Amino acid sequence: HYDMHNDIKEVFFTEQQIQKRVAELGDALTQEFQSVADKGETIVLVSVLRGAAIFMADLARYMNVPLEMDYMAISSYGSGTKSSGVVRILKDLSSEIKGKHVIIAEDILDSGLTLTYLLKNLASREPASLSVVPLLRKKVKEQAPIDCLHVGFECPDEFIVGYGLDYAEKYRNLPYIGVLKPEVYE
Ligand code: PRP
Ligand code: MN
Ligand code: MG
């Protein structure tokens, strides 16, 4: 029978490495947003569906401050492995963010198209602060400059899957991050 793990050529980040790093990010954010929380101001963790859902779910549980969780769906890739260059809002946030401290948890920063669009869009809603925390930042030549509060891992310019990242909507549920065997694309 089918075994998802057989489709993986190489693991880049193991489940243990990811969990350790996400815990570190959660600890750092807890410290950074402690005073904001103490003042009674609202913190909103925003996840960019669908890729970032898993990262945000883990990150939220490593953050020891009161926070809201909200979701936005944006797509730039479709089903291929290359960005189409088109960013679309598929689902907007459920609540207003005006005056709130927004932390965007994104799975990966690649061309930067998605985050450039998102930052501009969310900034116009006048949040008290707006921070970006991608789990992964790809080392690519042409990347829009994005000011990140933290980055989980730098990663090579290869098509990776797992821990939220998909290939044609599959492999998001792998607990680790890796590259597919070439025959899987065929
Ligand atoms: C992927 C990924 C990021 C974005 C990064 O999302 O999850 O959101 O692309 O690429 P960029 O920096 O070049 O914009 P995708 O559009 O595949 O949607 P998904 O999260 O539903 O998989
Ligand atoms: Mn995404
Ligand atoms: Mg995708």
ipTM for the whole complex = 0.97
Within 134-181, residue ranges assigned H as helices are: none
Helix H or strand E segment including 55: helix 53-61
Mutate to test the pocket of ligand 1, among 77, 132, 166, 177 (most ligand atoms within 8 A of CB): 77
Please give the model's pTM, rounded to 2 decimal places: 0.94
Binding site membership of 54 for ligand 1 (Cβ less than 6 Å): no
Which protein residue has the closest C-alpha to ligand 1 atom 17?
77
The answer to whether residue 110 is catalytic is yes
Binding site membership of 143 for ligand 1 (Cβ less than 6 Å): no
Binding site membership of 162 for ligand 1 (Cβ less than 6 Å): no
The mean pLDDT of 8-34, rounded to a whole number, is 98
Binding site membership of 131 for ligand 1 (Cβ less than 6 Å): no
Write out the two tokens for 165. 């990242």
For residue range 107-161, list pLDDT tens digits in order.
999 999 899 999 999 999 999 999 999 999 999 999 999 999 999 999 999 999 9
Query: Would you say 103 and 148 are in contact if contact means Cβ atoms under 8 Å apart?
Result: no
Domains and CATH numbers, the chain: 16-155 (3.40.50.2020)
